[in-house]
């Protein structure tokens, strides 16, 4: 069979198997093993277990379950609620301060937990009812939390960026640092939109109150004493200290990513045990079992994705595809645009982990040949994949929000997230125009 026919068959069969409803890990494994049987030596089948093990035996990948454990520990506690409450107490005087507080809380919690669904669940379970009680429209409240949750794959420690570092063979520490600037940019864009949207909704509420006498909760004023504000900070400080400590240890080079993740997980378990009484086995076991389930699922996807990429490389599919892309002689920005659009389309159907591991062998060589910094591209690709978490038809965060706020119609949640999709697109354009937003911090700290 001609080389091009093998490549086309590989892609078509992959799509058919995935659309059959089979779990992603098993779908990738079935396709890889099937093509090994058809096009590779029979002896290669004896190495499947060995290849799978070698792919996930990378010491950096060991950090994944430890980061997940840290996130699960923080997510199972009331840290998200307390973080949101403390920020609201300090920001309530700003127009749209409640929405801004939720955005900032999502960013900080994402940095502590490293998980987008966990961020949506932890902050949204407290934030959405509070915003709706204060007059925010349901779609607006849902959109703020869904978009804020996407920061979980961009701000360190991000499992998605960890896997990109493995696939692209770049420095994990530099990649984590590179995500901080764009993460703050997105928080500012989200907060700015929240303030503008709040001002618009408040003007409409004032006009309605003047015309009909109907009072809106948006018009109510809140007050917090200084002692209340300081007491709330006390509940948040230990988690922020853990975050800062983990980042300092990692970037200072005092410990490996795996060691840093392990220390962070232990400290998180200790803090929730002391502050929230989560130390009995009956309360700790759900955290451990949840971590095992999520880690197993993710590592299965990682292992099968890398086996899938190995078969693609052995059959020279990835090399041929990369050579074909280079041979098109596209300008570097046209090439980048085409690849990012391709990633957006994949985001309709696949999670970020699978997108990275499946596409890296094909898209990274042409980008490197075009002169792009792979760390910079990793951040841009991650921002683009954030869209996949909140755009229809299968945005994960949309369904997380629907689960924690079942009375909000799904179409309102989707319409509420669309302005944030546009803001993420704007962030991609800004990062492309000003790449220093990504590259400055890692260069300044790590050289």
Q: Which range scores top for mean pLDDT: 67-81, 91-105, 220-234?
A: 91-105
User: For 83-92, 194-203, 280-289, 338-347, which range has the lowest pLDDT when averaged over its residues?
Assistant: 83-92
Alpha-carbon separation of residue 243 from 109, 148, 249, 323 (angstroms): 10, 18, 10, 43
Alpha-carbon separation of residue 374 from 174, 185, 280 (angstroms): 11, 20, 45
Q: Check whether 205 has a pLDDT greater than 80.
A: no
305-317 per-position pLDDT tens digit: 878 888 888 888 8
**Mean of pLDDT values over 220-244:** 75
Residue of 122, 40, 12 lying closest to 73 (CA atoms):
122
418-432 per-position pLDDT tens digit: 899 999 999 999 999
Q: What is the radius of gyration, based on Cα positions, of the chain?
A: 23
Residue of 144, 53, 57, 56 lying closest to 98 (CA atoms):
144
Residue 135 makes CB contacts below 8 A (sequence gap 6+) with 201, 205, 216, 217, 218, 219, 220
Q: Check whether 271 has a pLDDT greater than 70.
A: yes
Domain edges within the chain: 53-446
Q: Check whether 37 has a pLDDT greater than 80.
A: yes
Q: Which range scores top for mean pLDDT: 290-294, 347-351, 391-395?
A: 290-294
Higher-confidence residue of 140 and 58: namely: 140
Residue of 354, 406, 368, 414 lying closest to 387 (CA atoms):
414
Residue 64 confidence class, pLDDT cut points 50, 70, 90: confident
pTM above 0.85, yes or no: no
Residue 375 makes CB contacts below 8 A (sequence gap 6+) with 170, 171, 174, 175, 178, 438, 439, 442
Question: Residue written as tokens 């997510």?
Answer: 75
Phi and psi (nearest 5°) for 64? -60, -55
Residue 301 confidence class, pLDDT cut points 50, 70, 90: confident
Q: In a 10 Å sphere around its CB, with 0-12 CB exposed, 13-18 middle and 19+ buried, how is residue 123 labelled?
A: buried
């Amino acid at each position: 069979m001609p080389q091009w026919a093998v490549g086309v068959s590989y892609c078509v069969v992959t799509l058919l198997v995935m659309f059959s409803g089979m779990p992603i890990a098993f779908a990738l494994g079935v396709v890889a093993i099937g093509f090994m049987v058809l096009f590779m030596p029979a002896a290669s089948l004896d190495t499947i277990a060995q290849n799978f093990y070698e792919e996930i035996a990378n010491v950096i990948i060991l950090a994944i379950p430890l980061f997940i454990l840290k996130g699960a520990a923080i997510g199972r506690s009331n840290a998200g609620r307390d973080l949101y409450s403390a920020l609201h107490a300090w920001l309530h005087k700003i127009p749209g301060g409640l929405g801004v507080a939720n955005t900032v809380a999502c960013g900080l919690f994402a940095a502590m937990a490293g998980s987008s669904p966990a961020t949506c669940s932890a902050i949204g379970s407290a934030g959405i009812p509070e915003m709706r009680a204060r007059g925010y429209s349901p779609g607006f409240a849902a959109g703020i939390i869904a978009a804020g949750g996407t920061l979980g794959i961009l701000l360190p420690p991000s499992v998605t960026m960890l896997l990109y570092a493995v696939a692209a063979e770049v420095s994990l520490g530099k990649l984590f640092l590179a995500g901080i600037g764009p993460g703050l940019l997105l928080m500012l864009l989200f907060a700015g939109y929240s303030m503008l949207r709040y001002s618009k909704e408040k003007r409409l509420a004032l006009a309605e109150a003047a015309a009909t006498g109907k009072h809106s909760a948006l018009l109510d004023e809140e007050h917090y004493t200084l002692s209340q504000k300081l007491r709330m900070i006390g509940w948040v400080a230990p988690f922020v200290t853990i975050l800062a400590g983990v980042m300092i240890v990692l970037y200072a080079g005092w410990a490996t990513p795996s060691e840093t993740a392990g220390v962070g997980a232990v400290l998180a378990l200790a803090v929730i045990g002391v502050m929230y009484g989560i130390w009995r086995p009956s309360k700790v076991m759900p955290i451990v079992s949840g971590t095992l389930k999520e880690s197993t699922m993710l590592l299965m996807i990682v292992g099968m994705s890398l086996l899938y990429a190995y078969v693609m490389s052995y059959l020279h599919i990835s090399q041929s595809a990369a050579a074909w892309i280079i041979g098109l002689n596209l300008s570097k920005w046209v090439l980048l645009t085409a690849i990012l659009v391709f990633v957006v389309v994949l985001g309709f159907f696949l999670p970020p982990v699978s997108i990275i591991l499946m596409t890296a062998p094909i898209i990274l060589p042409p980008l490197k040949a075009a002169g792009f910094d792979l760390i910079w591209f990793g951040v841009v690709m991650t921002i683009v994949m954030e869209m996949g978490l909140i755009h229809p038809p299968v945005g994960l965060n949309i369904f997380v929000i629907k689960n924690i706020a079942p009375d909000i119609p799904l179409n309102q949640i989707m319409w509420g997230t669309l302005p944030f999709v546009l803001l993420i697109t704007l962030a991609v354009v800004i990062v492309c125009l000003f790449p220093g937003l990504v590259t400055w911090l890692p260069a300044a700290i790590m050289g």
